[in-house]
């Protein structure tokens, strides 16, 4: 019998993750979601001494609560403001990034030697107004220039290929490389393989204070955690929605804010939908799983909550997101939602990720992105390459950790 995606061979043994913290490490990774575990894996695979600390358990926050979609088509938040040449170059870069992220995912199951429950189903992005359809056409042009094979589909052709979509859908783009994977298994598998390559992972270990020492050598940082102290030559902040906290401990202000988001899952229904469906103008992502349930996401908000921000669910968002799903896929009209949950996502003020090394606090790195299930494997791999090879190409300036730095912070440059 082959092992299913949730069997125990995916998990780092508790006797490893509960062991004492070592006194020092080359790289300390903060956070045990997909970004942190991927960083630990790629660094350890390259022979770097790495320790990952997670304040709770692995994969309990955004990386284990998301909707699992690969968002490879340009999204509305990326498209807003298009027209200026600078925006056009940025959008082309972002579309090319999608191809890079796709190629990492494509080989990831083999690389990690395990099931990620990965489905390359293709994805529709739908429009219900002429203006939305025009946005899709503009988006298509950019994606085509970047090398992504989306197509615009309307009229009878759309009805033939997607008979399940509502009559209100006037057109859609189809992207064959979109799909989804299982968020419950990806970060745990990265973690397990990282440990096999020599990484140390310590859970129940919250970073509470970071001293930046004068020298840039092995004791550059002294990191104080709830489980003791550890010296590190380099630090990578992979704390997701809380990434601003470790950064603030070294005097950096990251351009981030966090939000609670909803996901719903329905009862199973006869097979209807293979591609993922998302909306260019409304909050919707929708897919049918192998178990024939539908996962409905799209960024519906939860009520706010105090730190550590385990947000409650809300009737408004559960009902609202289901209503959008039904309006686009009328066959779901009488479907029952059987579970709804929330997770905490990080957004940057300018929608660009925060990836690389700080110029203000050398040795302090971050790997943070909003569509992080799709993009973290790629960003982590590239950041690990940069940390191990001085000739690796740098990230664009707009990803910089220092872009929100205040004048005060600059004066405090260490
Ligand atoms: C509901 C929802 C749906 C989403 N849907 C999608 C989707 O379909 N597709 C997609 O691409 N993206 C999606 N996302 C976004 C995606 O889930 C995140 O961008 C991604 O998981 C971020 O991974 P991460 O490792 O950076 O953060 P996280 O998974 O949040 O991990 C950060 C970790 O850092 C730990 N930590 C924080 N502070 C400290 C500290 N001081 N010391 C030690 N540890 C600390 C936390 O406990 C946490 O485990 C969704 C997000 C949410 C919330």
313-323 confidence digits (pLDDT tens): 889 999 999 99
Assess whether pLDDT exceeds 90 at residue 86: no
Average pLDDT over residues 23-31: 98
247 Cβ below 6 A of ligand 1: no
68 Cβ below 6 A of ligand 1: yes
Domains of the chain by start residue, with CATH = 14-64+184-255+350-411 (3.50.50.60)
- For residue 177, give the nearest of 148, 138, 144 by alpha carbon: 148
Q: For position 303, what pLDDT does the model report?
A: 86
Give the CA count within 13 Å in the CB-facing half-sphere of 259.
12
Between the CA of 338 and the centroid of ligand 1 the distance, in Å, is: 24
Q: For position 324, what pLDDT does the model report?
A: 97
Q: Give the burial class of 341: count Cβ atoms within 10 A of its Cβ; 0-12 exposed, 13-18 middle, 19 or more buried.
A: middle
28 Cβ below 6 A of ligand 1: no
293 Cβ below 6 A of ligand 1: no
376 Cβ below 6 A of ligand 1: yes
Between the CA of 330 and the centroid of ligand 1 the distance, in Å, is: 32
Assess whether pLDDT exceeds 90 at residue 178: yes
317 Cβ below 6 A of ligand 1: no
Q: Which atom from ligand 1 is nearest to the alpha carbon of 263?
A: 1
Q: For position 308, what pLDDT does the model report?
A: 60
pLDDT band (50, 70, 90) for residue 217: confident
- CA angle, 108 then 370 then 121, to 5°: 45
Give me the chain's average pLDDT, please: 91
Give the CA count within 13 Å in the CB-facing half-sphere of 128.
14
Q: For position 239, what pLDDT does the model report?
A: 98
97-150 confidence digits (pLDDT tens): 999 999 999 999 999 999 999 999 999 999 999 999 999 999 999 999 999 999
Residue whose CB lies within 8 A of the most ligand 1 atoms, among 345, 378, 380, 383, for a mutation test? 345
């Amino acid at each position: 019998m082959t092992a299913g995606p949730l069997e125990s061979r995916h998990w780092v043994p508790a006797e490893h993750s509960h062991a004492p913290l070592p006194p020092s490490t080359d790289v300390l990774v903060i956070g045990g979601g997909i970004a942190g575990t991927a960083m630990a894996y790629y660094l350890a695979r390259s022979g770097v001494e790495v320790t990952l600390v997670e304040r709770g358990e692995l994969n309990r926050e955004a990386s284990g609560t998301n909707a699992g979609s690969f968002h490879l088509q340009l999204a509305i938040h990326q498209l807003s403001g298009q027209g200026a040449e600078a925006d056009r170059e940025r959008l082309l870069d972002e579309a090319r990034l999608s191809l890079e992220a796709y190629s990492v995912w494509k080989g990831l199951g083999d690389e990690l030697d395990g099931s990620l429950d990965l489905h390359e189903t293709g994805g529709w992005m739908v429009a219900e107004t002429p203006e939305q359809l025009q946005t899709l056409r503009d988006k298509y042009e950019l994606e085509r220039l970047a090398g992504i094979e989306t197509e615009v589909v309307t009229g009878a052709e759309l009805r033939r290929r997607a008979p399940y979509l509502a009559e209100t859908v006037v057109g859609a783009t189809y992207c064959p490389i979109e799909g989804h994977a299982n968020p419950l298994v990806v970060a745990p598998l990265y973690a397990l393989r990282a440990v096999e390559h020599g990484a140390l992972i310590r859970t129940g270990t919250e970073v509470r204070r970071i001293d930046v020492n004068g020298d840039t050598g092995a004791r550059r940082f002294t990191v104080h955690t709830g489980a003791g102290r550890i010296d590190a030559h380099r630090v990578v902040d992979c704390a997701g929605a809380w990434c601003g906290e470790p950064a603030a401990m070294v005097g950096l202000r990251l351009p981030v804010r966090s939000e609670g988001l909803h996901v719903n899952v329905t009862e199973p229904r006869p097979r209807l939908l293979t591609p993922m469906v998302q909306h260019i103008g409304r909050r919707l992502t929708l897919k049918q799983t192998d178990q024939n349930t539908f996962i409905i996401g799209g960024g519906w908000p939860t009520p706010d909550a105090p730190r550590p921000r385990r947000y409650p669910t809300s009737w408004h968002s559960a009902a609202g997101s289901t209503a959008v799903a039904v309006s686009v896929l009328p066959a779901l009209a009488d479907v029952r939602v059987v579970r709804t949950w929330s997770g905490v996502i990080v957004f940057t003020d300018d929608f660009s990720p925060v990836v690389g090394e700080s110029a203000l606090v050398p040795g302090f790195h971050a790997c943070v992105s909003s569509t992080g299930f799709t993009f973290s494997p790629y960003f982590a791999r590239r950041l690990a390459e940069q940390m191990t090879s001085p000739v690796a190409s740098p990230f664009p300036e707009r990803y910089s950790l220092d872009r929100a730095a205040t004048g005060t912070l600059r004066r405090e440059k260490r």
